[in-house]
Amino acid sequence: MSRKTRQQPPRRAPEGKPGGTPADRLLRAWLDQDDEAFVEQAEELIARGRDGVLSTALRKLTERYEEDAVEDFIRALGEIAEVAESGPDFDMAQLLLLPVLATGTLPDPAPLATGLAASGAFPAEAEIAFLAGWRSAEAIGGLPPVALRRVLLDVVAGRPPEDLPPPEAATLEEGSIAVLVGAVVFRAPAPADAPEVDLESLDALAEAKSAASFEAFEDWRAALTPEQTGNAMILALCAPSELADEIRSLIEEPGEAAIEEILDFVEAARQESGGEPIAARLAAQDGGVAVTVLTEAGRVLDSRVFGDGEEAALDIEAVRDALDGEVAIIEA
């Protein structure tokens, strides 16, 4: 389980002197697209508990940039905070959430945690630990990066986190989102740390494991009975940085999340075009839409199928309407 690739906000050209406060240096690394420096500095600040510095950097960014850029910055810090490496008794650990939509009294979380840990959804070498009891999605979504890291270390150590106490029962009433909070812990270094491992083979194995993990989770979720779930809606496993997107998917129209993903996909391809005009070729495919982005000269930049396998099929007309005015469309 590697750290996720974070979204990139609008950036500026490098400027200014290399000095300044820790908040200035962190913000400069972010705006200059120096991801290595940004991750290194953010990790140090989070590990040292420097929430004040992070807050100052966030305030300065908020004063100069739009809301979307600020959200990307917050998400990037969260992605760093929810993963810890080289701990005192582990090689890597990552926070894990199982969100549920309450439709009545929440079920006993212990059997769900035990069943999920044994479901085959995680690598055999991983240790899975969950906190006792439910937490509110609102509470974990409001944790600053330093507190989020402390929660992760508490889960790994098997102690109740002071930053995330169990909520009052009344706050998890019908219609609210509750979460089981856990961690995936690797006590020993991953095989990638061994120099004799072929990286291409390792990537293929990781991809296969990912597909198998998804299938195992879906099989576990499908086998749950109403008695086990209390008729709550079990959502997909996610990290804290993904929780807002998971909740948002509950209230969006079918296919809306996929449309947003397609727009981001096309924009990412545009950035790889070297300034050449681009076009998108659309084709309906098994309940989804295949989107291929290519340059005016015919060079394929990227291709992907969206919506394939989702409960609500993605309508190719909806994709065409969303891309109208954004990019030239080629009929397949």
Q: What is the pLDDT of residue 5?
A: 40
Q: What is the pLDDT of residue 213?
A: 87
Domain shared by 204 and 115, yes or no: yes
Q: What is the pLDDT of residue 258?
A: 77
Q: Note whether residue 17 is domain-resident.
A: no
* Average pLDDT for the chain: 84
Domain shared by 265 and 309, yes or no: yes
Domain shared by 205 and 301, yes or no: no
Q: What is the pLDDT of residue 256?
A: 67
Domain shared by 35 and 150, yes or no: no
CATH of the domain at 265: 3.10.20
Half-sphere exposure of 204 (CA within 13 A, CB side): 5
Domain shared by 247 and 274, yes or no: no
DSSP 313: P
Going 155 to 161 to 166 to 172, the CA torsion angle's sign is: negative
Q: Note whether residue 11 is domain-resident.
A: no
Picking from 216, 232, 251, the residue at the C-terminal end of a domain is: 251
pTM exceeds cut of 0.85: no
Structural domain range at position 60: 22-80
Q: How far apart are CA 228 and CA 225, in angstroms?
A: 5
Picking from 52, 80, 108, the residue at the C-terminal end of a domain is: 80
Number of domains forming the structure of the chain:
3
Residue with tokens 């890597």: 92
Domain shared by 123 and 217, yes or no: yes
Domain shared by 122 and 265, yes or no: no
Q: Which residues contact 180 (CB under 8 A, 6 or more apart)?
A: 97, 98, 100, 109, 112, 113, 116, 130, 131, 134, 135
Q: Note whether residue 209 is domain-resident.
A: yes
Q: How far apart are CA 54 and CA 59, in angstroms?
A: 9
**pLDDT per position as a tens digit, 18-50:** 568 999 999 999 999 899 999 999 999 999 999
Domain shared by 122 and 236, yes or no: yes
Q: Note whether residue 193 is domain-resident.
A: yes
Q: Note whether residue 8 is domain-resident.
A: no
Domain shared by 163 and 88, yes or no: yes
| DSSP string of 245-280, one letter each residue | HHHHHHHSPTTHHHHHHHHHHHHHHHHTTTT--EEE
Q: Note whether residue 286 is domain-resident.
A: yes
Where the chain has pLDDT below 50, the residues are 1-17, 310-311
Strands (E), 145-231: 177-186
Count the Cβ atoms, other than its own, within 10 Å of residue 183: 25
Domain shared by 223 and 100, yes or no: yes
Picking from 54, 80, 106, the residue at the C-terminal end of a domain is: 80
Q: Note whether residue 290 is domain-resident.
A: yes
**pLDDT per position as a tens digit, 176-222:** 899 999 999 998 886 665 555 555 565 666 666 677 788 899 999 99
Domain shared by 72 and 90, yes or no: no
Q: What is the pLDDT of residue 52?
A: 94
Q: Note whether residue 198 is domain-resident.
A: yes
Domain shared by 89 and 132, yes or no: yes
